[in-house]
Amino acid sequence: MIVGVMSSPIVDAIKALYGITIAVNDFVDAHIEGLKSHANETIRATGRILEGAKFGFGLGYLTPTVLIAAGQYVLGNNLGAVVTVASGLTLSNPFSMTCASIGAVYFGWRALSEDERNAILNRLAEGFELGVELIKSIIAYVLSNMADFLSSEKLNAFKDFIASSANQFGKALYEVTGSVKDRIANAVDTITETASDVGEGIGTLVEKGVGRLPRRGKKKANPLKLESSPAPQEKGTD
């Protein structure tokens, strides 16, 4: 039996995020098919993982929606008023936001503290009226099976989606993944961007002539300064 997605505050937030104007079930079907047929391998894998979740738990459309919501929480979206911040980005590229959600579950769930995980689980359980253990199993499906769809190199491509989406909620990639390597990469990028900004600023000042050293030339005579008279010759004695 295929279970439909009932309305709830979390579902309504997902609808607002994606600009869904049709039944959520119809959107999920079309969205998964679009993901699966995409030219990008990472996006295709996201579609396959969502399709597997849809049919693997007997919950139908509900399971992919739970995974997207879980990923949004990991990304820093509280699925409340802040949802409007990213709605523009999602509407322009909904596949990117879904890849970010699934990538955040895969790379970020284990990086959370136990308290953070429990807080998300409780919100999902309340929002979807599902048991916490069932939600844990849905998340574990992504953690256990994602590597079967993509090589480690291709899996890392998820981080581009994560970084772009998490930034909309004020988080850097390393804050989602908890990876020291990602933190170092972020620091290097920040230093590089800062150096580039400084260089551009100096270049602009030079173009405008600001900060140029004055050219050296002949000193101009001061018209107010009187020329000193030659010293009088001392007369000799006869």
pTM of the full structure: 0.75
Residue 20 to residue 15: CA distance in whole angstroms: 5
The pLDDT assigned to 151 comes to: 86
Give, as one character, the DSSP assignment of residue 231: P
Residue-wise pLDDT tens digits, 1-26 = 455 677 788 999 999 889 899 999 99
The pLDDT assigned to 158 comes to: 94
Residue-wise pLDDT tens digits, 145-162 = 999 988 888 899 999 999
Identify the CA nearest to 127 among candidates 3, 1, 10, 2.
10
Residue 92 to residue 86: CA distance in whole angstroms: 10
